[in-house]
Chain A
Amino acid sequence: MKYLLRRGAFYLLTAWAAITLNFFIPRMLPGDPVRSLINRFQGRISVEATESLYILFGLDEGRPLWRQYLDYWGNLFSGDLGLSFAYFPTPVADIIGQSLPWTLVLVGLSTILSFLLGTMLGIWVGWRRGTWADGLLPVTNFFAAIPYFWIGLLAIALFAVVWPVFPASGGYDGGLIPSATPEFIGSAVYHGILPAVTIIISSMAGWILGMRNMMVTVSSEDYVTVAHAKGLPERKVMVGYAARNAILPNISGFALSLGFIVGGTLVTEMVFTYPGIGYMLYQAVGAKDYPLMQGFFLVITLSVLVANMLADIAYAVLDPRTRQEA
């Protein structure tokens, strides 16, 4: 319990740090591109919108910094993330709301699947050490070194152009309107397969290697020898004694590498023009749409924090030693 409370406090602190970082970044911009943009849109922005943009970007020199900071927080809590420049006058919050589900589903499912598959394969390869299974490692190594987006490009080239099995881009068939119909969902799934497979293949390699190394290390621990000495069946030793312990560092590793994974998956979205956060962020950067970029950064960071928290809970459940902070 104490462990979870500590972690919870840490996450709150990190969230605060991320939000504060978000607050300060535009204020550290050299030059003042934001103001020129606001000037450009003058007349088409309501007073309130200009107000919130000022707050977001700290252009109102009249107010002291801490005041701006408080107003910034106030805005956040009321869900006001400003207006997007590129999709003017759509509020940033709306755009995020539209693209977030796509990313959650694609990235969430793929990451979990790749973790599960990678872990299982890693357990198997690590246990069968010294057999032909070791030969898989160099191949896995190779894949771990390839950037996600390149595999995406390759996948598109092979399965969308050369053999047109899957669509090359988009989240769903352009002719359909997003709704909860089976037709739409079917189309969404169809479009999601190639990006999902890309993510799974590129990130699986890391899990396989990590899990395999841990299995090899744990296999030489005394308690595994004891398990063998007790004459327990092989499956029980492999899963209950070895894997159960080997997976622990991997779970905390999973949590930590989420930040990195999210980065990679975002790029995959860009490659596939998948209407998730990644692709929208890409557009935002291209269009110098600062409010949108800020909003995305915030959402991404907070999601990663939540995922980290979930991983921590899983870790606490699996490792009884954490339940007693020594």
Chain B
Amino acid sequence: MVTAVEPPAVTPGATTARRSRRGSTNLLFLRNRKTVVGLILLTFFMVLALIGDVIAPYDPSATSPIGLQPPSTDHLLGTTSLGQDILSQILVGTRGVLVVAFLAGALATVLSVLVGITAGYLGGTSDEVLSLVSNIFLVIPALPLIIIVTGLLPSAGGLTIALIIALTGWAWGSRVLRAQTLSLRNRDFVEAARANGESTWRIIIFEILPNLTAVIASGFIGTVIFAMLSEITLAFIGVTSISDWNWGTILFWAQSNQALAMGAWWWFVPAGLCIAGVGTALTLINFGIDEFVNPRLRSTGQNAKVLRAKKIRARVGFTPVLRDTTADRKPPRGAPPSRRTPLPKEQP
């Protein structure tokens, strides 16, 4: 939901499309506290994905006779009804989740970039056709389609899942990119490049693409979130292969073994929290990108503190007035509207 509306002429400092980006704008993106939190959280999970199976205390599939146990010092997150260590399952499952999610996100983004930018730039019939195709994919409900396709396949490994998710989820990004490309196409610097005789491909790659990076990044992250939720849902339903560990699979077993009815909260709460954790991290990063691209959304973080300290409330339509406490005397509330200070009226 990123817009490319031009800010009003009165406000300075707005982001405009540039032929080359200044280094300082990159740092501004990182200065946003939300983004930093999101990045840290995401890095944490990525590290887990890398070393998860190394640091896991037990083999996640290994059963043990102790059965269903709440968290203890031996098993920090408790065990399943087959005595499997839940902490290990989560640690090992991280990789599966993140790999599929990012892979699907990448594939979908590539597709959406190809279709969206081409449609937006070329216009005419190619645009009509491509838009039609992407609209069809957009409207057809993704999850049921994914469920059925994966259900029909004999065995669905991580790669296949990523592919299917990518094929059903690329349309949204392509639509956004098409709209952005359309607005960029008419900008002066593109016209200039065209007048210079630059070939279409060069224009797309060197002029238009750099200005779309923020939108593409935002779309990528959105798709990764979608992919993650989809794959976890698939695992939860039991459609994907059960041999690979995955947070959704944990929930699948929890559901099949009536964890809820038995009050075994430790079985399904941690997995959900991890999902929410990754999702939140990605959304925060997306927020950061959104605010970076659309300057109007900014200034709620840093500025909020400064504003509160100075007791300023920034509102559209009612410009705040900073008052030096020593200088002016404010009239008491409810003072009569006619005169404030006796200022001499000039005679006509």
Give the B-binding residues of A (Cβ under 8 A).
10-11, 13-14, 17-18, 21, 25-26, 29-31, 129-131, 134, 138, 141-142, 144-147, 149-150, 153-154, 156-157, 160-162, 168, 210, 213-214, 216-217, 219-222, 224-225, 227-229, 237, 249, 253, 256, 258-260, 262-264, 266-267, 270-271, 281-282, 285-286, 288, 290, 293-294, 296-297, 300-301, 304-305, 308
Contacts and interface: CB of A to CB of B under 8 A. Distances in A.
A297 B280 contact: no
Nearest to B225: A145
Contacts of B254: 153
B148 A301 contact: no
Contacts of B151: 285, 288, 293
Given A146-B275, A220-B296, A297 B317 contact: no
Interface stretch (B116-124, B308-316, B321-329): B308-316
B144 interface: yes
B126 interface: no
Nearest to B287: A141
A270 B233 CA distance: 11
Contacts of A253: 1
A17 B136 contact: yes
Given A14-B136, A142-B280, A160-B260, 11 more contacts: A10-B132, A13-B132, A134-B304, A150-B271, A259-B139, A260-B141, A262-B141, A262-B144, A263-B143, A301-B140, A301-B141
B261 A161 contact: yes
A197 B6 CA distance: 39
B140 A161 contact: no
Nearest to A267: B233
B148 A285 contact: yes
B140 A304 contact: yes
* Majority secondary structure, A binding face: helix
B253 interface: no
Interface string B217-259: 0000000011001101100111100000000000100110000
B142 A130 contact: no
B316 A161 contact: no
A129 B300 CA distance: 8
B318 interface: yes
Interface residues of B, number: 70
Contacts of A281: 144, 147
Contacts, number: 190
Contacts of A150: 251, 268, 271-272, 275-276
A231 B280 CA distance: 41
Nearest to B230: A263
Given A130-B314, A267-B237, A213 B280 contact: no
Interface in B131-159: 132, 135-136, 138-145, 147-149, 151-154
A249 B254 CA distance: 40
B272 A154 contact: yes
Contact of A216 (B152, B230, B232, B297): B297
Contacts of A293: 148, 151-152
B294 interface: yes
A31 B152 CA distance: 10
Interface in B160-189: 172, 175
B152 A263 contact: no
